[in-house]
Copies of this chain bind each other. A is one copy, B any other.
Amino acid sequence: MGLSKVAIGRLLHISRLLDQQEEPVISSSVLEKITGYTSDSIRKDISLLEGDFSSNAGYKKEALSLAIKEKLGLLRERICCIVGLGRLGSAFIDYKGLEGSFFKIGAGFDSNVNRLEILQADFPLYPTFKMKEVIPRLNIEYAVLCVPPGEAQKAADKLADCGIKGIVNYAPVALHLPKGVQVENLYVSDALNSLAARIEILHD
């Protein structure tokens, strides 16, 4: 489809910022300003999309965001699981951040059976050894990895083996996975570095 990983990242970023705007129509100069991308780069990315999202005053916000999600194949439901139900993982039990999204939590896994007995969730909880049976049966494609750093690589290998296509990794380690399994790391250190650099450089 002719989109690089970098272009995908730009389109996702544009769509996220559009969703946060309150005005229904957004001019190309405002879009340039809030994204930080050049108008050339924005025009080029947007030229790949289909749909009616232009008006005299600029881009129709909702229609453009929808065209991006359509292009990126994001308009269908996907099931994910939470792996590791300690402090971090169990925080997803009453997490509201996926409401209204196309992602649904289908299951939670933990190797500690006592923990599974204590926790109560809207989605079913299973011991880790049941992954191989549960993941294909519930059509789970994505995993949110919340295990301690020392267990992360082993758990990721197991998830890859169960057919998981993508892993959101909270453990502060670099995972090595077979081609075909994508990883997105959510390291707090990266977020802090990003803040620090912006504060250091942009305030001049």
Contact = CB atoms under 8 A, between A and B. Distances in A.
A12 B193 contact: yes
B142 A192 contact: yes
B201 A8 contact: yes
B88 A201 contact: no
Copies of this chain, whole number? 2
Interface in A120-174: 142, 144, 149, 165-168, 171-172, 174
Interface string A91-110: 11101111001110000000
A168 B187 contact: no
A44 interface: no
A160 to B, nearest CB: 13
Nearest to A100: B189
A191 interface: yes
Contacts of A166: 192, 195-196, 198-199
Contacts of A113: none
B196 A20 contact: no
| Listed residue (A86, A91, A174, A183) with the most chain B CB atoms within 10 angstroms of its CB | A91
Given A36-B5, A184-B191, A96 B172 contact: yes
22 contacts: A4-B36, A8-B201, A12-B193, A12-B194, A20-B174, A72-B201, A74-B193, A78-B192, A80-B192, A97-B149, A98-B189, A101-B193, A103-B189, A144-B188, A165-B199, A166-B198, A168-B195, A182-B198, A182-B202, A184-B194, A186-B186, A186-B188
Given A6-B37, A101-B192, 13 more contacts: A1-B201, A5-B202, A8-B202, A72-B201, A73-B201, A74-B200, A97-B172, A97-B187, A142-B192, A166-B195, A182-B198, A184-B194, A186-B188
